[in-house]
Structure 1
């Protein structure tokens, strides 16, 4: 029964969290908390009411909260849409595929250093091919980032 309730909520969040609302959410992920005017200036909105509209939408979804000083903060992190391709470490947000790319790059370099001239051609081609694909996909995800 809980699972049935969670799915429509996730679908609603995924539907609502796009465009300028997604930009506001991504901005709040980068900073601890922010006021309406700060968000308006940082994101280049024409008026504070636009920022407030998107903040209120995020607040209705339960993603954003407001403190006593009127500053907004992330109340619940969500992993939907384009955001699922990223992972956060502190304030740093990186493409998930970047970790695989770094891992395969390390494996390829270690294999080439260890085997030298006697390296198996299939192993080298397969590993280097994987490295190229993972770095390319990580770069594509980085270009599509909403923040």
Structure 2
């Protein structure tokens, strides 16, 4: 069973918080009305292996991403598509080459065409991320 949208949001908030947290603290962090709801979410995340409970009853986030986010990188609490890194690299490389060497038009077209699949993948990654976090 995949993670629900709420579980994923809770996991990402816990990653951003990055400290051990109690059930009551998690309740406040998420804005839940009862500690029971917070406990249920924490239990689900623990079952998925995304967090673990220490001997003091506090929950600590593991550093592995859930499978739904395997094509993303968490950088300082922000989710960045892996495709962004490749897209920026290929685009900057092509632009620098074109500016410095001033190749003929057919070479410029070919190099630009090589970057298109990366841009398409980046747009798809961003759309998938929007679907995950789209509120009902």
Q: With structure 1 as the length reference, what TM-score do the two structures score?
A: 0.68
**Residue of structure 2 equivalent to 1:45:** 32
Matching residue within 110, 116, 121 for 2:96: 110
Name the structure 1 match of 2:42. Answer: 55
SS of the residue 1:46 aligns to: coil
Larger CA deviation: 22-31 vs 126-135 = 126-135
Contact 1:95–1:141 (8 Å) recurs in 2? no
- CA distance, structure 2, for counterparts of residue 60 and residue 136 of structure 1: 32
CA contact (8 A) 1:101 1:131 kept: yes
When the two chains are superposed, the root-mean-square deviation of aligned CA atoms in Å is 2.8
Distance 2:35 2:121 in 1: 40
CA contact (8 A) 2:21 2:59 kept: yes
Larger helix proportion, structure 1 or 2?
1
Distance, in Å, in 2 between the alignment partners of 1:122 and 1:27 is 44
Equivalence for 1:3: none
CA distance in 2, matches of 1:104, 1:137: 17
Gaps of 5+ in 1: 1-14
Three-state SS of the structure 1 residue aligned to 2:33 is coil
